[in-house]
Amino acid sequence: MMSLILNHPHFDKYDLSSLFKVDIGGAPMAVELARQWKSRVGSHLRQRYGMTENSGKCSTDRTSEPYYEGSVGRAYHSTDLLIVDDNGIPVPAGQSGEILTAGPTTMKGYFKDPDATALTLRDGWLHTGDIGYLNDEGWLYVVDRKNDMIIKGGENIYPAILEDVLYKLPAIAEAAIVGVPHEIYGEEPMGFVVQLPDHDLEEADVLDHMKKHITKFKVPSRVLFRDSLPKSGVGKVLRRKLRDEVLRKTPGVEA
């Protein structure tokens, strides 16, 4: 939504100087988009992190505290946050792992679904399925969904990081990265973009841009142009739908 506002053809006709604060939820805002918003609008961006399973209360960015670019804030007073590796071992500050939460707002379980409850609630912690890390001051950064992570030749590639690179191109209105099958590496990233009107980007332009910002190994195999990206009811880009679209067109591979 923030991208649509910034790129609206009549954006510059309106005075937004009275806008003091904007709350962001649903999904972390791309760092480049946040920079554009701060530069063009100037209002404080307060990012929050949460989910239905803990009543939406994990962390929040407080206007009275320092602003950490890309962070979704610190834990609520009643919430504990923990970052663990694939073996459930806590990791040090700055290292990415799965985000776990605990506290009085955490659900007791899924209605009539003990298997899902046992998988999500373990040893008093709610396993969010999100990848993130804490800085030395306890501020949380959400990197990506664990299920969206791309594993290419044993190396983890986070779509959100590549998407942020795409947003550095002024002509890009929306961007998404998904993992698609690769016969040697297992998976590889593929990009989908929506460009702004009156721009004429070619795939080679986008790939050349990405090569300047990330290692060659992480550059997408393809970048496809679309008129729009599929979204949920709250505006999240549905990467799974894009991936399924590719898989349906790949012989011998099931979505």
pLDDT tens track for 106-155: 999 999 999 999 999 999 999 999 999 999 999 999 998 888 989 999 89
Decide if pLDDT at 63 tops 80.
no
Q: Looking at 53-96, which runs of residues are DSSP E strands?
A: 59-60, 74-75, 80-84
Return the minimum-mean-pLDDT range out of 27-36, 67-76, 81-90, 141-150: 27-36
Measured in degrees and rounded to the nearest 5, phi and psi for residue 110 equal -85, 140
Tokens 């709610």 sit at which residue? 126
CB under 8 A, 24+ apart: contacts of 158-164: 158/131, 159/189, 159/239, 160/28, 160/30, 161/214, 162/189, 162/191, 162/210, 162/214, 162/218, 162/220, 163/30, 164/30, 164/31, 164/32
- Mean confidence (pLDDT) of the chain: 90
Amino acid found at 220: P
Record the pTM. 0.75
CB 48: neighbour CB atoms within 10 A? 18
The 10s digit of each residue's pLDDT in 116-126 is 999 999 999 99
Q: Convert the pLDDT of each residue in 159-187 to its tens digit.
A: 999 999 999 999 999 999 999 999 889 99
Q: Does residue 66 carry a pLDDT above 80?
A: no
- The predicted pLDDT at position 251 comes to 55
User: Can you give the pLDDT at residue 171?
Assistant: 93
Q: pLDDT of 177-231, one tens digit each?
A: 999 999 889 999 999 999 998 889 999 999 999 999 999 999 999 999 999 999 9
213 DSSP 8-state letter = T
- What is the average pLDDT across 66-70? 82
Q: Which tokens hold the place of 177?
A: 């990265």
Helix axis angle for 159-166 and 203-211, nearest 10°, is: 110
For each of the domains in the chain, give its residue range(s) and CATH number, in order of start: 2-143 (3.40.50.12780), 149-248 (3.30.300.30)
Query: Which residue's structure tokens are 């729009």?
Result: 228
Report pLDDT for 127.
Answer: 96
How would you class 188 by CB atoms within 10 Å of its CB: exposed for 0-12, middle for 13-18, buried for 19 or more? buried
Supply the pLDDT for residue 3.
79
C-beta neighbour count of 117 within 10 angstroms: 16
Instruction: State the DSSP code for 14.
Output: S
CA pair distance 9, 11, nearest whole angstrom: 6
Question: In the 8-state DSSP scheme, what is residue 135?
Answer: -
CB–CB of 102/125 below 8 Å? yes
Contact between residue 103 and residue 78 where contact means Cβ atoms under 8 Å apart:
yes
253 pLDDT tier (thresholds 50, 70, 90): very low
